[in-house]
């Protein structure tokens, strides 16, 4: 079990290629995000990455943080793939209500059953 600061991924730069929605645009261009990992957690034996990313807009809100979680738990281990410098397929969850995703509210954002949380589908890799 990790806390949010003692994992070697904290501070690593990432690049995300976004596949869904197909018309995704961020401040750095079409279908891509760049950023860095700010916190790492473990939830149900899976790694959870909180990331600051290039700005994008959703439903009139400015988004600058996402939570990356494994998209295909049965076929990949995100931590292993990133450690090997491979890409990992993830859901990138973002909140329309929480301006800052913090260690204290990460689980709330992940488990939100209302329209506050939305997600992108893509892959991430270290840069």
Q: What is the pLDDT of residues 44-100, one digit of tens each?
A: 888 999 999 999 999 899 999 999 999 987 789 999 999 999 999 999 999 887 777
Closest C-alpha among 22, 28, 14, 113 to residue 67: 14
Residue 1 lies in a domain: no
Q: Does the pLDDT of residue 117 top 90, yes or no? A: no
Residue 42 lies in a domain: yes
Residue 2 lies in a domain: no
Q: What is the pLDDT of residue 42?
A: 84
How many structural domains comprise the chain? 1
Residue 38 lies in a domain: yes
Closest C-alpha among 88, 30, 25 to residue 58: 25
Residue 6 lies in a domain: no
d(CA 67, CA 22): 19
Q: What is the pLDDT of residue 113?
A: 55
> For residue 92, with 0-12 CB atoms within 10 Å meaning exposed, 13-18 middle and 19 or more buried, which class applies?
buried
Over residues 89-112, mean pLDDT: 79
Residue 58 lies in a domain: yes
Residue 94 lies in a domain: yes
d(CA 127, CA 117): 27
Closest C-alpha among 6, 14, 64 to residue 36: 14
Does the pTM exceed 0.75?
Answer: yes
Domain span including residue 43: 13-126
DSSP classification of residue 2: -
Over residues 33-54, mean pLDDT: 92
């Amino acid at each position: 079990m990790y806390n949010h600061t003692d994992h070697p991924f904290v501070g690593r730069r990432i690049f995300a290629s976004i596949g869904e929605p197909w018309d995704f645009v961020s401040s750095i261009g079409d279908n891509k995000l760049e950023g860095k990992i700010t916190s790492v957690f473990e939830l149900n034996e899976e790694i959870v990455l909180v990331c600051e990313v290039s700005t994008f807009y959703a439903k009139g809100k400015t988004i600058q943080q996402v939570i990356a979680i494994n998209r295909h738990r049965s076929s990949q281990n995100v931590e292993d793939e990133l450690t090997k410098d491979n890409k990992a397929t993830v859901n990138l969850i973002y909140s329309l209500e929480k301006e800052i995703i913090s260690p204290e509210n990460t689980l709330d954002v992940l488990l939100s059953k209302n329209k506050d949380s939305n997600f992108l589908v893509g892959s991430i890799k270290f840069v």
